[in-house]
Amino acid sequence: MTYIQEKYLKEVVKKLQEELKIKNIMAVPKLKKIVINMGVRNAVADKKNIEVATKVMELITGQKPKVTSAKKSISSFKLREGDKIGLVVTMRGNRMYDFYGKLVDVVMPRLKDFRGVGKDSFDTRGNYTIGISEFTVFPEVDPGKFDKVQGLQVTITTSGKTKEEGVALLRALGMPFQK
């Protein structure tokens, strides 16, 4: 069990029960999954970019990403249906909690001019999406080995039914929101 899981079970559940006035422990919001998505720049022009991005995602997440392909052809982007253009990884369980701990404690403080994340990226169901402009902020990635730096999106899916429940859960788990 990771330290985030222990913190959730020992402290956060009780705190959220009181804060959100939930009687049943099973109704307290929790993390369901974390999805990391990366659109690969110039993937159509150079097929090696997908391979490089796959190595980066493996380093960051600890599991092999699924390659996503284009659903539609777009002539102005020289993109055809079925071209490989992105990567996605879904994490659950221990890996999810490990990644969340690393994201909050290590990666976010390394972001340039970081003053906290905004609360406006929540959807109505309490899920949160963060855009990270460079993958080099992750400690596993050696910036000298990769010449092309790209961004990625991290979507944190919660079992919360409202935006307020999602905000309360992530705040209790240590997400640094803006003041």
Per residue in 103-142, pLDDT (tens digit) is 998 888 888 888 888 888 888 888 999 998 888 888 888 8
Superfamily of domain 31-158: Ribosomal protein L5 (3.30.1440.10)
Task: Report domain extents, the chain.
Answer: 31-158
One-letter amino acid of 72: K
R_g over Cα of the chain: 18
Q: Is the pLDDT of residue 37 over 70?
A: yes
Per residue in 48-97, pLDDT (tens digit) is 888 888 998 999 999 999 988 788 887 777 767 877 788 999 999 999 99
Sign of CA dihedral 71, 58, 136, 143: negative
